[in-house]
DNA sequence: CTTTCGCATGTTATATGATAACAAGTCAAT
DNA sequence: ATTGACTTGTTATCATATAACATGCGAAAG
């Protein structure tokens, strides 16, 4: 019951990002413990790398970082860690970008919406229940059984929209 | 004003697909004429290929078809035609699939939602105004300026859900 | 203990998706 | 006849993702 309402997520607003990172890592540990899965060094480091910023990173970008720190330098190393994180709800895959981002509020199942700034690459992960509901209605009308949804908006974050104007 | 309500699109229901194809081609011609763009042989054939089925096709799948019919056999041939069609609203790119599908009701700007069957690969393109509105609300709350949206649901079409049960 | 087995990590090689850069052909306007 | 915009084709290369196999490690069974 200590859940903050997810809508309080800072998104593009400035915030204490250290707290962001720490909280996500803690929740990741909890979640994996529940599922009996292991947060090994590569996986942990991969998550930390994703958590450094509110951006999405390509698998090869992550791989470069891992390799530089003594982990394997072949694609499967990064892809496996990323796939693991996604499977366990600790990271998301951004379909438009072929890239990955840390999940900012794991701990409960969610299929968030993403706002992606095309100028600065920043990313906001938002609870998308109303959007999903609207989509579920559409699907129901067509007898379609939804399993996974992708909801992504590309555009300008407040900061970049401001400087452009 | 002769517009059928877009919601009458047959989606997964059986229908006269010849009419589907013919209508889409006609509307494509109209639309391009308005914009002063040319429906050249490669482009036209590419559109026809996409229109053969309510499935998304990868660029290389399209390329194979084009090559077999005497057009160029190098990737840019397909990618250019597909890009052209997408730019002019005659085809859509499916982000989850890295693939393309003909637009079934061009003629007015739209950012549809897609229902993608993971079993038979069939695809429904649906008007998504309510979904987009919900997403727009989210964006507005966060000061985000939306430019393009991706709304895709992966799951089972009625037919495939039926046989699975 | 030590054997066994699942799983994590690493490798090499290859598949799949996409674009850059350049050359040549068409065609309408000058 | 010449120019310039546009289209199509090429070669070469980049980017993204997975298959297949080898090794190591640690918990559970013997
Ligand atoms: Zn943060
Ligand atoms: Zn921005
Ligand atoms: Zn049809
Ligand atoms: Zn199906």
pLDDT tens digits, chain A, 165 residues: what are they? 334 444 445 679 999 999 999 999 999 999 999 888 999 999 999 999 999 999 999 999 999 999 999 999 999 999 999 999 999 999 999 999 999 999 998 777 788 999 999 999 999 999 999 999 999 999 999 999 999 999 999 999 999 998 866
Q: Is B9 within a domain?
A: no
Say yes or no: Cβ of B96 under 7 A from any atom of strand D. Answer: no
Touching check for B128 and chain A: CB below 8 Å? yes
Asked whether residue B20 is marked as a ligand-binding residue, the answer is no
Say if A58 falls within a structural domain: yes
CA of A15 to the centre of ligand 1 (A): 6
pLDDT in tens, B42-84: 999 999 999 999 999 999 999 999 999 999 999 999 999 999 9
Structural domain contains residue A6: no
Q: Which chain A residues are closer than 8 Å to B146 by Cβ?
A: 115, 153-155
Question: Are the Cβ atoms of B155 and A143 closer than 8 angstroms?
Answer: no
Q: Is the CB of A40 under 7 A from strand D?
A: no
Instruction: Answer whether A119 touches B (CB < 8 Å).
Output: no
Domain count, chain A: 1
**Distance in angstroms (rounded) separating the CA atoms of residues A101 and B151:** 19
C-alpha distance from residue A148 to each of A76, B1, B53, B75 (Å): 24, 36, 23, 31
Task: Please check whether residue A7 lies inside any domain of the structure.
Answer: no
Nearest to A139 among B115, B134, B142 (CB): B115
- In-domain check, residue B56: yes
Residue nearest to nucleotide C7 (CA to C1'): A38
For residue A33, the distance in angstroms to the closest alpha carbon of chain B comes to: 29
Three-class SS state of A99: strand
pTM of the model: 0.90
**Contact between residue A153 and residue A113 where contact means Cβ atoms under 8 Å apart:** yes
Specify the 3-state DSSP secondary structure of B35.
Answer: helix
Chain C: bases < 7 Å from a protein Cβ = 7-13, 16-21
Q: Do A157 and B134 touch (CB under 8 A)?
A: no
Out of A134, A139, A146, whose CB is closest to B130?
A134
> Is the pLDDT at B3 greater than 70, yes or no?
no
The CATH number of the domain holding residue A108 is 1.10.10.10
A78 is in which domain, residue-wise? 17-164
The answer to whether residue A11 sits within a structural domain is: no
Is residue B66 one of the residues assigned to a domain?
yes
Cα B126 from Cα A141, distance rounded (Å): 11
Is the residue at B74 inside a domain?
yes
Per-residue pLDDT tens for B78-136? 999 999 999 999 999 999 999 999 999 877 778 899 999 999 999 999 999 999 999 99
Distance CA B12, CA B43 (A): 27
Interatomic separation, CA of residue B42 and C1' of nucleotide D8, rounded (Å): 9
- Of A121, A68, A147, A76, residue with least CA distance to B96: A147
């Amino acid at each position: 019951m200590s859940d903050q309402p997810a809508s309080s997520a800072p998104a593009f607003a400035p915030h204490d990002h250290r707290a962001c990172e720490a909280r996500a890592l803690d929740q990741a540990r909890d979640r994996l413990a529940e599922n009996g899965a292991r947060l090994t060094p590569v996986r942990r480091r991969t998550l930390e790398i994703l958590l450094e910023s509110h951006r999405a990173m390509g698998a090869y970008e992550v791989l470069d970082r891992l390799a530089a720190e003594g982990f394997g330098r072949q694609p499967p190393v990064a892809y496996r860690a990323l796939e693991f994180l996604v499977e366990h709800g600790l990271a998301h895959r951004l379909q438009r970008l072929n890239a990955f981002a840390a999940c900012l509020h794991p701990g409960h199942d969610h299929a968030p919406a993403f706002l992606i700034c095309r100028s600065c690459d920043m990313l906001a992960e938002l609870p998308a229940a109303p959007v999903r509901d609207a989509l579920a209605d559409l699907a129901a009308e067509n007898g379609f059984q939804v399993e996974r949804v992708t909801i992504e908006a590309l555009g300008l974050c407040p900061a970049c929209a401001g400087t452009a104007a």
